[in-house]
Chains A and B, each alone.
Chain A
Amino acid sequence: MTDFADDAQLVDALRRRDEAAFAALIDRYHATLLRLAQLYVADRAAAEEVVQDTWLGVLKGIDRFEGRSSFKTWLFRILTNLAKTRGVRDSRSLPLSALFDADTDPFEPSVSPDHFQPPGSEWAGHWLIAPHPWNEQPEDHLLSQEVLAQTRSAIAALPPAQREVITLRDIDGWTSDEVCNALGITETNQRVLLHRARAKVRAALDKYFELEQSR
Chain B
Amino acid sequence: MTMDDGLACQTLVELVTDYLEGALPPTERARFETHLAGCGSCGHYVEQLRLTIKAAGRLTEEAIEPQAREALLAAFRDWKSGKPNA
CB within 8 Å of B: which residues of A? 1, 17, 19, 22-23, 26-27, 30-32, 35, 48, 52, 55-56, 59-60, 109-111, 113, 116, 124-127, 130-134, 139, 142-143, 147-148, 151-152, 155, 166-167, 170-173, 176, 187, 191, 194-195, 198-199, 201-202, 205-206
**In the complex the two chains form, is B1's CB within 8 Å of A126's CB?**
yes
Name, among A171, A172, A202, the residue most crowded by chain B CB atoms within 10 Å (CB to CB).
Answer: A202
Known: A148-B58, A170-B57. A127 touches B51 (CB 8 A): no
Q: Given the known A-B contacts A32-B61, A126-B10, A191-B23, are A148 and B55 also in contact in the complex, defined by CB atoms under 8 Å?
A: yes
Closest to A172 in B: B61
* A147 partner, pick from B55, B80, B85, beta carbons under 8 A: B55
B56 touching A139 by the CB < 8 A rule? no
The CA-CA distance from A151 to B75 in the complex, in Å, is 36
Give 3 nearest A-B pairs by CB, closest first: A125-B8, A195-B17, A170-B56
A59/B56 contact (C-beta < 8 A), A31-B62, A124-B8, A125-B9 known: no
Asked if B4 is at the interface (CB within 8 A of a chain A CB), the reply is: no
**Residue of A at shortest CB range from B53?**
A170
Tally of contacts, chain A with chain B, CB under 8 A: 138
Q: Which of B47-75 touch A at CB < 8 Å?
A: 47-49, 51-64, 68-69, 71-73, 75
Q: Which residues of B contact A59 (CB under 8 A)?
A: 75-76, 79, 86
Distance of B16 from chain A, by nearest CB (Å): 7
A interface, by DSSP: helix, strand, loop or mixed?
Answer: helix
Residue numbers in A under 8 Å from B44 (CB-CB): 130-133
Contact yes or no, A202 B48, CB < 8 A? yes
Given known pairs A31-B62, A109-B14, the reply for A131 and B41 (CB within 8 Å) is: yes
Beyond the given pairs A126-B1, A126-B10, A206-B48, 9 more chain A to chain B contacts, judged by CB atoms under 8 angstroms and listed by A's residue number, are A22-B73, A22-B76, A27-B63, A125-B9, A143-B58, A148-B59, A170-B53, A170-B56, A191-B21
Question: Closest approach, in angstroms, between the C-beta of A44 and any C-beta of chain B?
Answer: 11
Nearest residue, chain A, Cβ from B14 = A110
The answer on a CB contact under 8 Å between B48 and A48 is no
B27 touches A (CB below 8 Å): no
Chain B residue at smallest Cβ distance from A30: B64
Task: Tell me which residues across on chain B come within 8 A of A171, comparing CB atoms.
Answer: 56-57, 59-61
Asked if residues A19 and B16 are in contact (CB atoms below 8 Å), the reply is: no
A130-B49 in contact given A1-B61, A110-B13 (Cβ < 8 Å): no
Q: How far is the CA of A155 from the CA of B56 in the complex (A)?
A: 9
